[in-house]
C-alpha cells in the first residue's frame, strides 16, 4: 500500500514540475469546453445517454487493456470508428438544440419589443385562464419567446388576431372546431389555434402525481423541451392551472401566482456584460426555474 502511495506521489510531482503557463491555459480551455457542453445538455435525455456512453467506454477500455483478450481488443479497435460516426446520429436532436441555444447566446440581447408586447397581453391571458379553470374547460396556451414555432403554427388554423379573454374563451369552448389543440401567442397576437404540439417522451408524467395527467400536459412538456416557450395549461378534469417551461411544471396556480410567473418570464431583460449574458443564455434551460413562485 505504501509503494502505491509513493508511486502516486511521485507521478503527481512529475506532472507539477513540468507545468507552465501554456499547460495551465490548455487545461483551462479543455475544462471550459466540457463545462459548456455539460451546460448545453443538462436536464435533457442526452445526459442520460452520455452517462451510458461514458460507462461503456470505461468498461471497454478496461477489458481491451487485458492482454488475455486479444480477440475482444481487435473487435473494439475495429468497431470504434463506426461508433464515432454513430454519435452524431444518436445525438442529432440534442446537437440541433445546442446549436440553437448557441445562436441565441450569440445575439446576447433578447428582443425587448416582443417582451413588452407580451407583457401587455398577460392580463388578458390570466383573465381567460381563470375563467376557463372555473368552468373546467381544457386549454393549452403557448407563449412564444425567442425560438420560432412556425412549424407548429402550420399544423393549426391561422387567426392572427388580437388577444382578448373572449377570444380565448371561444376558442377553448368544448366541442367547437378549434378547442382541440394549442393556441400560439406571439406578442399581442394570437397567431393560430388548434395547433399540434410534440408529446413529451421524457417520462416526467410517469412519476407521481403527474402520471394522471393527459395529452394536454404531455404536449405542454413536449413543446417546452424543444423550445423556450412558456406554456399555460388548464386541466379539463380538475380545472387546475399549470405553467410549463424547459420541461418543468408548476401546478395548482391561482390568478395572482400565474400572473407573477408570466410577468417574470416576459419582464424587460437586464443589461449584462458579454460573459454574463452568454453563460445565462447557455444555462437558461434549468436556471429560469419557475419553482420559486
Q: What is the DSSP string of 191-233?
A: EEEEE--PPP-S-GGGSTTGGG--HHHHHHHHHHHHS--EEEE
> Quick one: DSSP state of residue 270?
P
The neighbouring-strand residues paired with 143 are 185, 230
pLDDT of 101 > 50? The answer is yes
How many CB atoms neighbour CB 272 within 10 A?
14
Q: How many helices (H) and strands (E) does the chain have?
A: 12, 7
What gap in Å lies between CA 103 and CA 107, rounded to an integer? Answer: 7
How confident is the model over 39-83, as pLDDT tens digits? Answer: 766 655 566 666 666 776 777 667 666 666 677 677 767 776 776
pLDDT of 286 > 80? The answer is no
Instruction: Measure the N-to-C terminal CA separation of the chain; round to a whole number of Å.
Output: 54
Contact (Cβ atoms closer than 8 angstroms) between residue 104 and residue 277: no
Kind of pairing, strands 189-195 and 230-234?
Answer: unpaired
How confident is the model over 2-46, as pLDDT tens digits? Answer: 766 777 777 777 777 777 888 788 888 888 887 877 776 665 556
How confident is the model over 177-232, as pLDDT tens digits? Answer: 998 899 999 988 999 999 999 988 666 665 545 555 688 999 999 998 888 899 99
C-alpha cell at 101: 441555444
Q: Can you list the domains of the chain with their CATH numbers?
A: 2-107 (no CATH), 112-269 (3.40.1700.10)
Banded pLDDT at 274 (limits 50, 70, 90): very low
Catalogue the long-range contacts made by 132-136 (C-beta closer than 8 Å, 24 or more residues apart). 132/168, 132/169, 132/172, 132/234, 132/239, 133/234, 133/239, 133/240, 133/241, 134/239, 135/239, 136/235, 136/236, 136/237, 136/238, 136/239
The neighbouring-strand residues paired with 245 are 248
Chain-centroid distance of CA 271 in Å reads 23
pLDDT of 115 > 90? The answer is no
Q: Is 139 helix (H, G, I), strand (E, B) or coil?
A: strand
The neighbouring-strand residues paired with 189 are 162, 186
Amino acid at each position: 500500500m505504501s509503494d502505491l502511495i509513493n508511486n502516486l506521489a511521485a507521478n503527481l510531482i512529475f506532472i507539477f514540475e513540468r507545468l507552465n503557463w501554456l499547460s495551465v491555459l490548455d487545461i483551462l480551455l479543455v475544462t471550459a469546453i466540457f463545462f459548456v457542453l455539460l451546460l448545453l445538455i443538462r436536464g435533457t435525455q442526452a445526459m442520460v445517454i452520455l452517462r451510458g456512453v461514458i460507462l461503456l467506454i470505461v468498461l471497454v477500455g478496461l477489458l481491451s487493456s487485458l492482454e488475455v483478450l486479444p480477440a475482444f481488443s481487435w473487435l473494439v479497435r475495429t468497431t470504434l470508428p463506426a461508433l464515432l460516426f454513430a454519435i452524431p446520429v444518436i445525438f442529432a436532436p440534442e446537437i440541433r438544440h445546442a446549436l440553437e441555444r448557441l445562436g441565441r447566446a450569440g445575439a446576447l440581447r433578447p428582443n425587448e419589443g416582443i417582451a413588452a408586447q407580451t407583457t401587455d397581453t398577460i392580463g388578458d391571458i390570466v383573465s381567460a385562464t381563470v375563467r376557463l379553470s372555473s368552468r373546467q374547460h381544457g386549454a393549452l396556451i403557448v407563449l412564444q419567446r425567442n425560438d420560432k414555432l412556425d412549424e407548429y403554427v402550420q399544423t393549426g388554423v391561422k387567426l392572427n388576431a388580437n388577444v382578448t379573454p373572449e377570444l380565448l374563451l371561444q376558442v377553448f369552448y368544448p366541442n367547437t372546431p378549434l378547442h382541440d389543440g394549442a393556441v400560439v401567442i406571439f406578442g399581442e397576437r394570437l397567431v393560430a389555434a388548434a395547433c399540434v404540439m410534440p408529446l413529451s417522451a421524457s417520462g416526467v408524467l410517469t412519476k407521481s402525481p403527474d402520471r394522471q395527467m393527459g395529452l394536454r400536459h404531455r404536449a405542454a412538456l413536449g413543446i417546452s423541451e424543444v423550445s423556450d416557450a412558456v406554456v399555460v395549461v388548464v386541466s379539463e378534469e380538475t380545472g387546475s392551472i399549470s405553467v410549463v417551461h424547459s420541461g418543468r411544471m408548476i401546478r395548482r396556480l391561482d390568478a395572482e401566482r400565474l400572473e407573477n410567473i408570466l410577468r417574470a418570464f416576459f419582464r424587460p431583460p437586464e443589461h449584462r456584460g458579454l460573459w454574463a449574458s452568454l453563460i445565462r443564455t447557455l444555462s437558461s434551460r434549468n436556471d429560469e426555474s419557475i419553482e420559486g413562485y
